[in-house]
């Protein structure tokens, strides 16, 4: 069951300074007398609803998203129940502020807007005492850890310890979208230096001002962290987040069968993208095997999506080799083909027999794909000629511009719909507003990982599974696609409304937990009513009497 922290003997100012327990002006008259709060608060007792109204008034009068981000993070540091009530009741407005795209700017400016520490910072100087650092965390029932080394933050590159904004933001979404209790969440940054020259010269940079640690010393620190977590937080799942390509694939491969872990950039992105493809198939009226996919970008996200599409194609009866031929990649050097000698290991399964092509538009014309999936971090690379070519080649071209934040998107929603004459099936990584084209309103889908990873995490917690598998992301993708309504599709939306995200997460969690029990990945007894068991885990940010 989800935890209900008591007061732990806290009174007075100590209670007001604990964000998990603090209710601010909503402490009742009786609580003020009993807990030594009389005189420490304004006289009038507020309701949580009144506090929410005050917060919204303050947020909405701010003139920039980064100021709104700072305000919300400060609220989270003061009163977590109130923070989550505001976010959950206004998710479409708040998600872009607490996560993409605003969190990107928040990370870039992290050392300059830093207010209060949140999470654990582990440096290479802590080797040999990582377990001691983990024990410094005040909560013991940790179930979800998001860890980064800050090398590849969104599409922004190496931000070092400033990348802590990502684990903090991701775990906020675990709570807001799937109801994982805040005290069960732990953000971690492995501060192993940075190669970002601007940060190294910045006197307000919060991390170790040295170049990145590599090689055996890096691996030893990661291993000490993973084994320490397994010892101190034995029911925790470790989500790898925003590691550089080489380390991300390597670490996932090394630990996936040794620990309860997954990489959201590889597997979560794959799940949400495949769900979008399955929704698009309901519009095009054909099968996955009728399509050819061309990726712009062959890093973690691209290869992860390709691998999960291959899984879907194999379910339709294709061999693995046949399925891989449906997925083509363009990286910074051009089309990934067999004749290239510069390919790293994770690209080799998709190096097909084809002449060298260095231009993306030329690759579109040569391969004639039905779908483009952009995960390059290179803005405006789905150019007008590229989109027009896709519209010429396909009745309903599929265009997924998934790079984050918005400034890195391969094209905008307006460009996709306008250049395709309203025929594109479009999704982006960060949100775009609705588009009017020739009198019709199009609501662009947001291929946000928040549709997938919170539900997967909740399923992991509900089942106490020992491992997270690729199959779990496949069932998560199919579950998400099944939740898209005909009304959604009619508006051009290939994902459910964010207003339904908690129901979506509960459905995904139930499917993931069911798979864990089916595959024998847990020693827990299967609940009689699995869906009810999942929902019973979900935290509601309401004030409790005496807490």
Taking CA atoms, 89 is separated from 82, 84, 169, 507, 525, in Å, by 11, 8, 17, 20, 34
Taking CA atoms, 145 is separated from 238, 262, 451, 481, in Å, by 5, 11, 18, 27
Indicate which residue of 69, 84, 99, 543 is catalytic: 99
- CA 443 to CA 493: how far, in whole Å? 6
pLDDT at position 491:
86
Residues in the chain where the model's pLDDT stays below 50: 1-6, 547
- The closest of 219, 252, 220 to 129, measured between CA atoms, is 220
3-state secondary structure 180-228: CCHHHEEEEEEECCCCCHHHHCCCCCCCCCCCCCCHHHHHHHHHHHHHH
Helix 501-518 × helix 165-178 angle, to 10° = 90
pLDDT at position 4:
45
Residues 144 and 203 sit within 8 Å (Cβ to Cβ): no
Residue recorded with tokens 């995200």: 501
Run of H or E residues at 330: strand 327-331
Let me know how long the chain is: 547
- Secondary structure (DSSP) of 476-490: HHHHHHHT--HHHHH
All domains of the chain in start order, with CATH: 100-259 (3.40.50.10380)
Per-residue pLDDT tens over the stretch 52-98:
999 999 999 999 999 999 999 999 999 999 999 999 999 999 999 99
pLDDT at position 1:
42
Number of C-beta neighbours around residue 367 at 10 A: 18
Q: Assess whether the previous peptide bond of 164 is cis (omega < 30° from 0).
A: no
Is 440 among the catalytic positions?
Answer: no
- CA 106 to CA 326: how far, in whole Å? 38
Is 235 among the catalytic positions?
Answer: no
Indicate which residue of 23, 68, 170, 347 is catalytic: 170
pLDDT at position 546:
56
């Amino acid at each position: 069951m989800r935890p209900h922290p008591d007061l732990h003997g806290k009174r007075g100012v100590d209670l007001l300074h604990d964000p998990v327990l603090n209710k601010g002006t909503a402490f009742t008259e009786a609580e003020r007398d009993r807990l030594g709060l009389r005189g420490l608060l304004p006289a009038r007792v507020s309701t949580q609803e009144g506090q929410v109204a005050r917060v919204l008034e303050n947020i909405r009068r701010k003139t920039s998203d980064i100021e709104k981000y700072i305000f919300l993070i400060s609220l989270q540091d003061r009163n977590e129940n109130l923070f989550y009530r505001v976010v959950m009741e206004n998710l479409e407005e708040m998600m872009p502020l607490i996560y993409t795209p605003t969190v990107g700017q928040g990370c870039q400016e992290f050392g300059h807007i830093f207010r209060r520490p949140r999470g654990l910072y582990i440096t290479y100087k802590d080797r040999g005492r990582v377990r001691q650092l983990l024990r410094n965390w005040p909560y013991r029932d940790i179930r979800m850890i998001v860890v980064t080394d800050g090398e590849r933050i969104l599409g922004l590159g190496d931000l070092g310890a400033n990348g802590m904004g990502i684990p903090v933001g991701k775990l906020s979404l675990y709570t807001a979208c799937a109801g994982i209790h805040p005290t069960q969440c732990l953000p971690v940054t492995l501060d192993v230096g940075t190669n970002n020259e601007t940060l190294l010269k910045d006197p307000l940079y919060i991390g170790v001002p040295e170049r990145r640690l590599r090689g055996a010393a890096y691996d030893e620190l990661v291993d000490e962290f993973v084994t320490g977590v397994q010892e101190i937080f034995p029911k925790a799942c470790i989500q790898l987040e925003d590691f550089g390509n080489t380390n991300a694939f390597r670490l996932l491969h090394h630990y996936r069968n040794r620990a309860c872990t997954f990489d959201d950039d590889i597997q979560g992105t794959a799940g949400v993208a495949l769900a979008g493809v399955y929704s698009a198939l309901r519009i095009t009226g054909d099968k996955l095997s009728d399509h050819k996919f061309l990726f712009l970008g062959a890093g973690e996200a691209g290869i992860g999506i390709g691998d999960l599409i291959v899984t879907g194609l194999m379910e339709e009866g294709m061999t693995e080799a046949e399925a891989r031929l449906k997925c083509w990649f363009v990286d910074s050097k051009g089309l990934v083909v067999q004749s290239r000698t510069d390919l790293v290991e994770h690209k080799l399964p998709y190096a097909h027999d084809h002449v060298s092509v260095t231009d993306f538009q030329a690759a579109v014309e040569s391969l004639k794909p039905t779908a483009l999936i952009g995960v390059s971090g290179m803005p405006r690379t789905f150019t007008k000629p590229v989109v027009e070519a896709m519209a010429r080649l396909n009745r309903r071209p599929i265009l997924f511009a998934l790079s984050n934040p918005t400034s890195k998107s391969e094209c905008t929603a307006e460009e996709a719909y306008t250049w395709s004459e309203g025929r594109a099936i479009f999704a982006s990584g960060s949100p775009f507003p609705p588009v009017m084209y020739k009198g019709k309103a199009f609501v662009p889908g947001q291929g946000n990982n928040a549709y997938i990873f919170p539900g997967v995490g909740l399923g992991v917690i509900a089942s106490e599974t020992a491992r997270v598998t690729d199959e779990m992301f496949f069932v998560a993708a199919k579950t998400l696609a099944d939740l898209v309504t005909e009304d959604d599709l009619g508006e051009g939306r290939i994902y459910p409304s964010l207003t339904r995200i908690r129901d979506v997460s509960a459905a995904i969690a139930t499917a993931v937990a069911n798979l864990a029990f089916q595959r024998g990945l847990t020693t827990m007894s299967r609940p009689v009513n699995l869906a009810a068991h999942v929902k019973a885990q979900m935290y509601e940010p309401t004030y409790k009497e005496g807490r």
